[in-house]
């Protein structure tokens, strides 16, 4: 009898938590960054998640094509530019959740509640420790000055990270000032724009340039493999608007079949356990201010981050792309 009850409980407990619940996720995040979180969620709640991984653009195209027939409940991606587009294309639905609005600062979520930040990433300045003196460390705008001629490396303007960086600059400083800064950067380039942030740092370490702009988790990844590299991070504009930040985030789809389950998963993702996992797995900053970042990240020091609404990066993205094109930023 005892065995029977234990057996029965084993069947009932997970089922009562699950009640057939599952969440279907279209994810533009690398599997190894998101699967451990979903495994932890399943272990805790019994809720299954199905995940389809692809780049952000094909996932958005797929959501649009599938329309009301989409199996997707959640869209998970990096960069506010991608989230803003998805919302703009009508594939995300507003979600009312006090857990999300109380945990996520207002400037890191959609004012219309269609997307929410899950993590914060900082796009900051990296420099060659043997070639740049701390006293001359630049801000984003001062990187455009004559003193940095032939010393700057940048990633391609085709990457949404740089489009968001320039879009936020347009939002803060206006198009004219931003165009001057971007033109100055291009004037100062040591090499044509590079494919990715890691190549920017490798070029600096190799002595081909002295400074660059990268997302800090790439710095963390590279230095983990090659701790001897003469590279360090610098937090610019600490007297001004602060470091440019971006987000990874998610939104419930307009035609979600498991809306309530998707909402619960999102709420769990901004909780302490998930936030620590995010920070450990991808060296990102927690969006939940009550959770400390991973110890290695914390060693890079704290900084003042730009607090302008991140949605502005979406609103000014098209303008940023045109501005970079006119400035000759390939
Ligand atoms: Fe990235």
15-26 pLDDT tens trace: 434 456 899 999
Residues 320 and 205 in one domain: yes
Position 90 pLDDT exceeds 80 = yes
Share of the chain above pLDDT 90, in %: 93
Does 261 fall in a domain?
yes
Contact 120, 247 (CB under 8 A): yes
Q: Does a structural domain hold residue 87?
A: yes
Residues 201 and 56 in one domain: no
Q: Is residue 150 part of a domain?
A: yes
Give the pLDDT confidence score for residue 307 in this predicted structure.
Answer: 98
Distance 249 CA to ligand 1 centre (A): 13
Report residue 4's pLDDT band, with 50, 70 and 90 as the boundaries.
very low
Domains in the chain, number: 2
CA–CA dist 327, 36 (Å, integer): 42
CA 64 to chain centre: 23
pLDDT given for residue 21 in this prediction: 85
pLDDT score for 20? 66
- pLDDT of 100-126, one tens digit each? 999 999 999 999 999 999 999 999 999
Distance of CA 156 from the midpoint of ligand 1 (Å): 13
Mark whether 113 and 197 lie in a shared domain: no
Q: How far is the CA of 3 from the centre of ligand 1 (A)?
A: 51
**69 C-alpha to ligand 1 centroid (Å):** 30
- Residue 46 falls inside a structural domain: yes
Residue 293 CA to ligand 1 center (angstroms) comes to 18
pLDDT > 60? residue 226: yes
Give distance in angstroms: CA of 262 to centre of ligand 1.
24
Residue 42 domain-assigned (yes or no): yes
- Does residue 8 lie in a domain region? no
Supply the mean pLDDT for the chain.
94
33 CA from centroid of ligand 1 (Å): 11
Query: Do 41 and 82 lie in a common domain?
Result: yes
What are 243-256's pLDDT values in tens digits? 999 999 999 999 99
* DSSP for 156-215, written as a single string: -TTSHHHHHHHHHHHHHH-HHHHHHHHHHHHHHBSSSPBSSHHHHHHHHHTTS-SEEEEE
Pair (187, 320) in one structural domain: yes
- 107 occurs within a structural domain: yes
pLDDT score for 19: 52
Spacing, Cα 304 to ligand 1 middle (Å): 21
Residue 62 CA to ligand 1 center (angstroms) comes to 22
Beta bridge partners of 92: 253
Domain containing 266 equals 21-119+246-291
Would residue 227 count as lying in a domain?
Answer: yes
């Amino acid at each position: 009898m005892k065995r029977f009850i234990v057996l029965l409980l084993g069947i009932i407990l997970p089922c009562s938590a699950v009640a057939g619940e599952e969440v279907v996720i279209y994810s533009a995040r690398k599997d190894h960054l998101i699967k451990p979180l979903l495994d932890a969620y399943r272990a805790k709640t019994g809720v299954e998640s199905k995940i389809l991984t692809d780049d952000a653009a094909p996932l958005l195209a797929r959501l649009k094509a599938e329309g009301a027939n989409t199996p997707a409940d959640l869209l998970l991606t990096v960069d506010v530019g991608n989230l803003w587009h998805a919302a703009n294309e009508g594939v995300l639905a507003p979600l009312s959740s006090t857990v999300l609005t109380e945990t996520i600062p207002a400037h890191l979520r959609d004012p219309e509640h269609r997307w929410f930040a899950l993590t914060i990433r900082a796009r900051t300045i990296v420099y060659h420790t043997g070639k740049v003196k701390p006293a001359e460390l630049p801000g984003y705008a001062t990187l455009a000055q004559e003193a940095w001629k032939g010393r700057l490396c940048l990633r391609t303007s085709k990457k949404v990270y740089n489009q968001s960086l320039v879009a936020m600059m347009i939002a803060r400083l206006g198009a004219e000032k931003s165009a001057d800064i971007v033109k100055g950067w291009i004037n100062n380039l040591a090499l044509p724009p590079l494919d990715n942030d890691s190549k920017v740092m490798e070029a600096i370490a190799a002595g081909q340039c002295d400074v660059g702009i990268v997302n800090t988790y790439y710095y963390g990844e590279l230095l983990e493999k090659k701790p001897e590299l003469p590279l360090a991070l610098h937090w610019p504009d600490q007297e001004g608007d602060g470091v440019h930040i971006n987000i990874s985030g998610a939104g419930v789809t307009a035609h979600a079949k498991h809306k309530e389950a998707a909402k619960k998963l999102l709420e769990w993702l901004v909780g302490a356990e998930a936030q620590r996992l995010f920070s450990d797995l991808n060296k990102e900053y927690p969006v939940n201010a009550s959770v400390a970042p991973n110890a290695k990240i914390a060693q890079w020091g704290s900084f003042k981050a730009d607090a302008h609404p991140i949605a502005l990066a979406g609103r000014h993205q098209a303008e940023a792309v045109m501005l970079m094109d006119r400035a000759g930023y390939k």
